[in-house]
Amino acid sequence: MLTYDPAIPSAQKAELENAVREMGTRLPAKSGNIPSDLFRRLDGMVAATADPGFAAACPPHAWLSYDPWIGRGTPVDEGPYAYTGAACIWICERTFREQRVMGTRRVAAVLLHELVHVLCGSELDAEAFEWLLFELDGATAPDGGDWESFRLYNMRGRWIYLDTHRTPPQIMDYQGRSLGGFTAQNMPPTCANLPAGFLR
Ligand SMILES: [Zn+2]
């Protein structure tokens, strides 16, 4: 279940509600690419087709707000998209701005990314599921800082790991199933320009 901060302005609230509706349809459509326990928790949060038994036993919950200040006055490509502490998510103005400019579902992609963090997913988990659900429609490819974080944890997340011996790197579940790849196209930095010895 998601609770909206009452202070969110109406324009951003409407965009967030659209994003939650989009996730409510996209999650079941992509459920084959999401480990079932993660799927149930995410689906329970957006309250689309939640398993009532699961929701009653362990209601997943997040509080959702809007930050108009961080990144204000900077160029469009600076500042965070969002940040999360415990179960509180702030979506920043940059995300809404990019959605307006690019005409993609950026708000939904960022919200999904942050929900994975609320469920204690790592940066790799959050980037991977953002990519798998919103590739070419709001997801951004991992940047240099993201790759540093992936490397720190040996390319392993809570629900998936990255097979970097394949091109493009494959997002794998722990049953050894490939869920998809970070395509080299649209992916700065590509495997080719990562520092030497980066991929092991
Ligand atoms: Zn993240």
Ligand 1 centroid from CA 139, angstroms:
12
How many folded domains does the chain comprise? Answer: 1
The token pair that represents 75 in the structure block:
């160029």
Cβ–Cβ < 8 Å for 17, 106: no
**Domain around 133:** 2-139
- Structural domain includes residue 159: no
Q: Which of 35, 7, 51 is nearest to 158 (CA)?
A: 35
- Structural domain includes residue 48: yes
Name 116's Cβ contacts closer than 8 Å, sequence gap at least 6: 38, 42, 125, 126, 129, 130
Q: How far is CA 92 from CA 53, 56, 66, 200, in A?
A: 34, 31, 6, 35
- Structural domain includes residue 170: no
- Structural domain includes residue 90: yes
pLDDT digits (tens, 9 = 90+) for 120-158: 999 999 999 999 999 989 999 898 899 999 999 999 999
pLDDT digits (tens, 9 = 90+) for 78-118: 788 999 988 899 999 999 999 999 899 999 999 999 999 99
pTM of the model: 0.86
The token pair that represents 49 in the structure block:
């087709």
> How does residue 184 score in pLDDT terms, banded at 50, 70 and 90?
low
CATH number, domain of 55, equals: 3.40.390
Ligand 1 centroid from CA 110, angstroms:
9
- Structural domain includes residue 30: yes
Ligand 1 centroid from CA 152, angstroms:
14
Q: Give the pLDDT score at 191.
A: 41
The token pair that represents 191 in the structure block:
């495997």
- Structural domain includes residue 171: no
Ligand 1 centroid from CA 127, angstroms:
7
Ligand 1 centroid from CA 185, angstroms:
21
Name 155's Cβ contacts closer than 8 Å, sequence gap at least 6: 124, 161, 162, 164
Mean pLDDT computed over 43-67: 70
Integer distance in angstroms from the first to the last C-alpha of the chain? 39
